[in-house]
Structure 1
Amino acid sequence: MSQNAFDQKKASILDEINSIQPDLSPKGTIDELCIPIMDLINSNSDMVTTSSCSGRISVFAEGTKNSNPEVKVGGKGEGGRWIFVSHDSKSVNGWLDNLLDKLDEHSIFINTNIVGDVSLFDGSTRYILYKYEPFILHVKCRNFETASKLYNTAMGCGFRESGIGSNNIVAIRINIKLDIPIGYLDEKTEQFVLFVSRQYIQFLDSITLTKFNDNARKMNQLYNKINNDIIKNDGAAKKEDIIKESKEERRVRKMKEGLERQRLLNESRKD
């Protein structure tokens, strides 16, 4: 029996998930913290996960900013680069020292505890951004009814940035992020310059660990809500449908058996 388009797409996605080959993400693998909720969602015949991130800390150096339509002002820009990225909360403390050990002499950080002339910073400044980005999950649903059910469940858990896009894809998101300038790229020397102290970096790291903890708690809450409100409910509903269908089949069968017995009884009387 041929599969419909959704079932074919789900089978293809699950094959990719279960493959030992690297996926298309920069990391190349699924975050371990995402696996339980992905497995839960994918156990439902009407949903399949398409992309995910369990949450991460990163340090990003912005690219060139200008009025060229091909380079978005304030965006990643041409020449933007990730300086540090990790999905592991254990890598938060001490990230700066570990990074300094890996950077070459042409990309060195210079610590400056006091910003000099702030008028030098304008819309063209290429900032170094310290980021924390929380859990995000995209789920393709068989129909709008399923997508709405998942969306409402996520919203009920506080994932207020969630939404339903085209093709019944639900984006599950929450706003517990950080996005803070901690330095800039000196384009004359091509050096990364910090304009915050190490103490301030430690302060940000402390906040980030709190974000990681909040993120894990919300992921667990979402898992339980999906399990109770969708997975178990759908399973119970389908089981109930089977029971109802079986009773109906039994009624029809009993009626046919009764008619057959009546026919045989009538024939025996004729004999």
Structure 2
Amino acid sequence: MQDPFLQKKQNILKEISQNSDDNLDASPKGTIDEHCIPIINLINTHPKMVTTSSCSGRVSVYLEGVQNNKIISKGNEGKWIFVTHDTSNLDNWYQNINFKYDITKFPTSENLRSILYKFEALILHVKCKDISTANKLYQIAMNCGFRESGIGSNYNVAIRISIKLDIPIGFMDESQYNEDGEESYNCFVSKEYLKYITKVSFDRFKENLKKLNQLHEAIDKFIKEDNDGNDEFIERIESVNIKEGWESKEERRARMIKEGLERKEKMRRTKLEEAIRNDDGNIQSLV
């Protein structure tokens, strides 16, 4: 009978390896963050650990939802107005949002939904086979400064750190739409203030990546020391790791360009062959 943990791990790794822009997972983003790929692959080489979810860190602007006539942070109609996991998309993000700036206008009704600017740091969820492995991973995380970490049921370890921002920057009422029928938002902070908290977020991203690298090094050291010699198992799980079925945006773009050129060349050759056939009834060798 197969080990239940091993079976669960193999199923998870199969799902991870198939995740792509054309095969989205259940997360809001739909694909695994590129910054998380190395540490996910690393953790999954350990025979007693498997990653179940991750976020490398993100900036988001979130419109609170409504439920039973009460404003709640998440829920019905709550949505991201803007979200990015990469600093390359962060500069001047507010230029693309339909904000109405008025630093003197604040929400005065309970029916007005708040808009929150958030920076959320790295989070990893790792399922472990036993309490001993869970405790070791938890201790590694704590030693690396991930003080919000914890062990849940079924030896699931949540690795978290508190370097976050959570700032109200505006609001929207239920009937607020512009002349084109699009939602518009009241922003009660200035563009200068948005520029400032964006700069702060760049610093948060930098610290977040530093902690991610520190965690990666610590887990790598642990795995090397804890290797139980089960090379056959490690080979099996490495055969379905993310790198086999996952592409970065740049790799996917390059592949699609290459495939497009190949299709065009195939069409060109087909048309040329048809033209030659029409001319003399013979297909000549094409170079």
State the TM bucket, normalised to the shorter chain.
Answer: 0.7 to 0.9
Q: 1:78: Cα distance to partner?
A: 2.4
Q: Which residue type is aligned with residue 176 of structure 1? A: I
Name which of structure 1's ranges 87-96 and 142-151 shifts more when overlaid on structure 2: 87-96
Between 210-219 and 18-27, the greater mean CA deviation after superposition: 18-27
Counterpart CA distance in 1 for 2:64 and 2:33 is 25
The aligned residue for residue 180 of structure 1 is 167
1:115 to 88, 104, 109: 104
- 1:84: Cα distance to partner? 0.6
RMSD between superposed Cα atoms in Å: 1.7
Residues 85, 148 of structure 1: CA spacing in aligned structure 2 closer, same or farther, 3 A cutoff?
same
- Unmatched 5+ residue regions in structure 2? 178-183, 230-287
Post-superposition, which runs of at least 4 consecutive aligned residues in structure 1 deviate over 4 A? none
Q: Which amino acid aligns with 1:180?
A: I
Q: Where does the alignment leave 5 or more consecutive residues of structure 1 unmatched?
A: 101-107, 240-271
**Which residue in 1 is equivalent to 2:199?**
206
Structure 1 residue corresponding to 2:65, chosen from 49, 59, 63: 63
1:186 shift after superposition: 2.9
Task: Name 1:86's counterpart in structure 2.
Answer: 84
Query: SS at 1:49's partner residue?
Result: strand
Matches within 5 A, 1:122-271: 123-190=110-177, 191-228=184-221, 230-235=222-227, 238=228
Residue number in structure 1 paired with 2:26:
24
Offset at residue 187 of structure 1 (A)? 3.0
**1:64 to partner: Cα distance:** 2.3
Question: Of the two, which has the highest radius of gyration?
Answer: 1
Write out per-residue CA displacement over residues 2-35 of structure 1, whole angstroms, 9 at most, x where no aligned residue: 4210000000001011115322212221111001
Letter matched to residue 39 of structure 1 = N
- Partner-residue secondary structure (3-state), 2:11: helix
Note if 1:5 corresponds to 2:40. no
CA distance in 2, matches of 1:122, 1:167: 44
TM-score, L = length of structure 1: 0.77
Which deviates the most, 48-57 or 188-197? 188-197
Post-superposition Cα deviations, 1:139-186, rounded to whole Å, max 9, x if no partner, equal 000001100000011011110110111110000000111110110003
Change (3 A) 1:86 1:94: same
SS in 2 for 1:171: strand
- For residues 14 and 201 of structure 1, the distance between their equivalents in structure 2, rounded to whole angstroms, comes to 40
Which of residues 23, 29, 33 in structure 1 aligns to 2:35?
Answer: 33
Distance 1:220 1:189 in 2: 44
Q: Is the CA contact (8 Å cut-off) linking 2:112 and 2:174 kept in structure 1?
A: no
Letter in 1 for 2:100: I
**SS at structure 1 position matched to 2:43:** helix
Mean alpha-carbon deviation: is it higher for 123-132 or for 83-92?
Answer: 123-132
* Equivalent position amino acid for 1:177 in 2: K
Which SS does the other structure have where 1:57 is aligned?
Answer: strand
Which SS does the other structure have where 1:14 is aligned? Answer: helix
Q: Distance in 1 between matches of 2:162 and 2:114?
A: 22
Query: Could you tell me how far apart the structure 2 residues matched to 1:149 and 1:124 are?
Result: 47
